């Protein structure tokens, strides 16, 4: 194994014994060969940890780190601490990557002299049959102005919200590591990576396969832990306010209330009504801090009112304004 590979691929491993080998296999089949794989066994209660050791015995570019269960953020942070590569790439243990992914992202980053390259993704319950077919990949270098970051935030190609699907220079990660003990931790931090990179190389090519796992972290029954999504939004809002990105602050502060409305609706419908006052308390904190930036349009107001069960008088008035009622 090269003691100083150019790329470290970090995989948090937890309860994924049935997917892990396919995930690792998709990385081992890369057209780019100068990489290491770091499998971080996050105290998995199944046979995933044992499988990690078996893979490491079989392939000399695989390193295994075992830890007590601390969550994905800690697993990724600890993986970075032992990473030998100058560049980092994160893969979830039940996902897969296209054979050209590392080569495409590395070439895009180095040829454009940028510290972050990103691709799009395809998601589903099974990897598409043609996913591994040759891809003609081209990248655009996009300066991280407020307008461009806002555009990435609004689109649905995974550039803004998630850690995977990206090649990131280790120096950026070390400046903005993931917050441990949280879920939605990538929602809170990737925006800072983008801004710190100054310019990002981006392709629309779907080089990452995201497996939809209905029992995954963000799909579980509604509990107070789900409040972390509001924490993640506040982290973003605070960050963009601190650098005077007013459009981003306004967009996220307004969007916060859609998320809050969804959470209140879930709490109401999933027998967790006792959590609604806590959600409202967090919402009121944002109102107090960012009232000038909260500017929902009529459609957003209607959405919020319907989700939070506001009096029908207000809902009817908004529907008339939108032409939905006479």
| Percent residues over pLDDT 70 in the chain | 97
**pLDDT tops 80 at residue 111:** yes
Q: Which two tokens stand for residue 72?
A: 């994905």
Contacts of 58 (CB under 8 A, 6+ apart): none
H helix count then E strand count, the chain: 12, 9
pLDDT value for 214: 63
Same domain, yes or no: 197 and 237:
no
Same domain, yes or no: 269 and 225:
yes
Number of folded domains in the chain?
2
The CA-atom distances, in angstroms, between 65 and each of 53, 82, 83, 105, 202 are 9, 9, 11, 26, 31
For 310, phi then psi, to 5°, come to -70, 160
For residue 182, tell me if it sits in a domain: yes
Same domain, yes or no: 160 and 272:
no
Same domain, yes or no: 178 and 237:
no
Name the percent of the chain in helix, strand, coil, to the closest 5: 50, 15, 35
Closest CA to 285 of 237, 245, 248, 239: 237
CATH of the domain at 87: 3.90.550.10
Distance CA 149, CA 295 (A): 19
Same domain, yes or no: 191 and 235:
no
62-67/87-90 β-pairing: unpaired
pLDDT bin (cut points 50, 70, 90) of residue 1 is low
* Range of the structural domain that residue 192 is part of: 7-214
Same domain, yes or no: 43 and 118:
yes
Instruction: Encode pLDDT of 33-58 as tens digits.
Output: 999 999 999 999 999 999 999 999 99
Asked if residue 112 lies in contact with residue 199, where contact means CB atoms within 8 angstroms, the answer is: yes
b/e burial code for range 297-310 (CB count within 10 A of at least 16 → b): eeebbbbbbbbbee
Q: Is 28 helix (H, G, I), strand (E, B) or coil?
A: helix
What is the distance, to the nearest Å, from the Cα of residue 59 to the centroid of all Cα atoms in its chain? 29
pLDDT bin (cut points 50, 70, 90) of residue 185 is very high
Q: Is 315 helix (H, G, I), strand (E, B) or coil?
A: helix
pLDDT bin (cut points 50, 70, 90) of residue 314 is confident
Same domain, yes or no: 209 and 226:
no
Instruction: Encode pLDDT of 204-252 as tens digits.
Output: 999 999 998 665 544 567 888 889 999 999 999 999 999 999 999 999 9
pLDDT value for 212: 87
pLDDT value for 220: 65
The CA-atom distances, in angstroms, between 92 and each of 15, 19, 175, 242, 310 are 11, 10, 22, 31, 40
What is the distance, to the nearest Å, from the Cα of residue 195 to the centroid of all Cα atoms in its chain? 16
pLDDT value for 51: 97
| Number of Cβ atoms within 10 Å of the Cβ of 231 | 17
Same domain, yes or no: 135 and 27:
yes
Same domain, yes or no: 200 and 226:
no
Same domain, yes or no: 117 and 157:
yes
Instruction: Encode pLDDT of 254-283 as tens digits.
Output: 999 999 999 999 999 988 899 999 999 999
Same domain, yes or no: 266 and 246:
yes
Same domain, yes or no: 37 and 181:
yes
Which of 195, 214, 233 marks a domain boundary? Answer: 214
**pLDDT tops 70 at residue 32:** yes
Which of 172, 199, 214 marks a domain boundary? Answer: 214
Instruction: Encode pLDDT of 59-106 as tens digits.
Output: 999 999 999 999 999 999 999 999 999 999 999 999 999 999 999 999
């Amino acid at each position: 194994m090269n003691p100083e590979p150019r790329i470290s691929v970090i995989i948090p491993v937890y309860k994924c014994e049935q997917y892990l080998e396919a995930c690792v296999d998709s990385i081992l089949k890369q057209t780019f060969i100068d990489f290491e794989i770091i499998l971080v066994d996050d105290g998995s209660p199944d046979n995933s940890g044992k499988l990690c050791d078996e893979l490491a015995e079989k392939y000399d570019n695989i390193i295994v780190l075992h830890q007590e269960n601390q969550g994905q953020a800690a697993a990724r942070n600890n993986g970075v601490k032992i990473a030998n590569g100058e560049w980092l790439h994160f893969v979830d243990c039940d996902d897969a990557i296209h054979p050209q992914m590392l080569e495409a992202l590395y070439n895009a980053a180095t040829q454009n002299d940028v510290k972050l390259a990103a691709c799009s993704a395809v998601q589903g319950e099974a990897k598409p049959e043609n996913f591994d077919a040759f891809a003609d990949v081209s990248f655009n270098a996009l300066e991280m102005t407020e307008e461009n970051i806002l555009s990435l935030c609004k689109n649905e190609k995974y550039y803004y919200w998630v850690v995977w699907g990206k090649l990131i220079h280790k120096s950026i990660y070390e400046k903005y590591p993931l917050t441990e003990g949280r879920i939605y931790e990538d929602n809170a931090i990737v925006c800072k990576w983008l801004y710190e990179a100054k310019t990002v190389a981006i392709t629309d090519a779907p080089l990452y396969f995201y497996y939809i796992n209905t029992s995954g972290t963000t799909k579980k029954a509604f509990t107070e832990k789900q409040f972390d999504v509001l924490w993640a939004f506040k982290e973003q809002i605070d960050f963009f306010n601190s650098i005077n990105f007013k459009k981003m602050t306004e967009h996220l502060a307004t969007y916060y209330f859609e998320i809050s409305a969804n959470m209140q609706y879930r709490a109401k419908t999933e027998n967790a009504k006792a959590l609604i006052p806590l959600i409202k308390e967090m919402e009121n904190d944002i109102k107090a801090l960012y009232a000038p930036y909260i500017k929902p349009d009529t459609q957003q107001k209607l959405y919020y009112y319907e989700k939070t069960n506001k009096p029908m008088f207000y809902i009817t008035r908004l529907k008339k304004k939108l032409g939905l009622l006479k």
